[in-house]
């Protein structure tokens, strides 16, 4: 039931933007935006509450621990008080080794207009944060080995 409702909302949003949007049979929809970025919308089939999850990968962590530390420290700073993330959170997804912008809410509290507004706000925030993470990728990071030269974090 919830999947059909969200799929209908996505179809309506897609029509206004000229995009074919809808949830797939698995309850997922992917929206491509910006410069190769993607936003995923997920509505699980069964749950006690009716959640909708919206998330967008920001970047994959590099192998170098010092680069990981620098990125995760900056991520926590961006998350502080939600000043840069609005009502979204920056998280680490261990399955994909990525920093991910996430948002979740109960579908019972939404209608089509509220969902559209939330999705638009999420995409605006995600676009701004992608710029910040690209800037992070350009910063040199000091290696933990004092002999090794500085290196750039690769996105």
Domain boundaries, the chain: 2-152
Measured from the Cβ of residue 54, the count of other Cβ atoms closer than 10 Å reads 23
Q: Over the stretch 72-107, which tens digit does the pLDDT of each residue have?
A: 999 999 999 998 999 899 999 999 999 999 999 999
pLDDT reported for residue 17: 87
The least confident of 17-21, 26-30, 45-49, 136-140 is: 136-140
pLDDT reported for residue 152: 30
The least confident of 23-32, 37-46, 67-76, 137-146 is: 137-146
Structure confidence at residue 125 as a pLDDT band (50, 70, 90): very high
Asked whether residue 127 carries a pLDDT value surpassing 80, the answer given is yes
- The answer to whether 127 touches 34, Cβ cutoff 8 Å, is yes
C-alpha 15 chain-centroid distance: 23
Burial 81-110 (b: 16+ CB within 10 A, else e): eeeebeebebeeeeeeebbbbbbebebeeb
pLDDT reported for residue 153: 27
Q: Over the stretch 106-123, which tens digit does the pLDDT of each residue have?
A: 999 999 999 999 999 999
Which range has highest mean pLDDT (28-32, 42-46, 139-143, 147-151)? Answer: 28-32
- The answer to whether 103 touches 95, Cβ cutoff 8 Å, is no
Please classify residue 60 by burial: count the beta carbons closer than 10 Å to its beta carbon, then call 0-12 exposed, 13-18 middle and 19+ buried.
Answer: middle
Q: Which residues pair with 90 in a beta bridge?
A: 101
Structure confidence at residue 35 as a pLDDT band (50, 70, 90): confident
Give the pairing of strands 51-60 and 140-141. unpaired
Q: What is the second-level CATH architecture of the domain 2-152?
A: 2-Layer Sandwich (3.30)
């Amino acid at each position: 039931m919830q999947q059909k409702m969200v799929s209908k909302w996505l179809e309506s949003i897609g029509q206004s933007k000229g995009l074919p949007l809808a949830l797939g049979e698995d309850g997922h929809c992917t929206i491509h935006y910006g410069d190769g970025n993607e936003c995923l919308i997920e509505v699980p089939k069964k749950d006690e509450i009716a959640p909708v999850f919206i998330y967008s990968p920001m970047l994959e962590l590099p192998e170098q621990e010092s680069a990981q530390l620098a990125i995760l420290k900056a991520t926590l700073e961006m998350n502080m008080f939600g000043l840069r993330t609005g009502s979204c959170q920056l998280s680490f997804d261990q399955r994909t080794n990525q920093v991910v912008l996430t948002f979740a809410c109960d579908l019972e509290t939404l209608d089509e207009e509220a969902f559209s507004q939330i999705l638009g706000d999420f995409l605006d925030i995600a676009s701004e944060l992608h710029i910040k993470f690209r800037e992070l990728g350009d910063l040199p990071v000091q290696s933990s080995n004092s002999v090794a030269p500085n290196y750039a974090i690769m996105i």
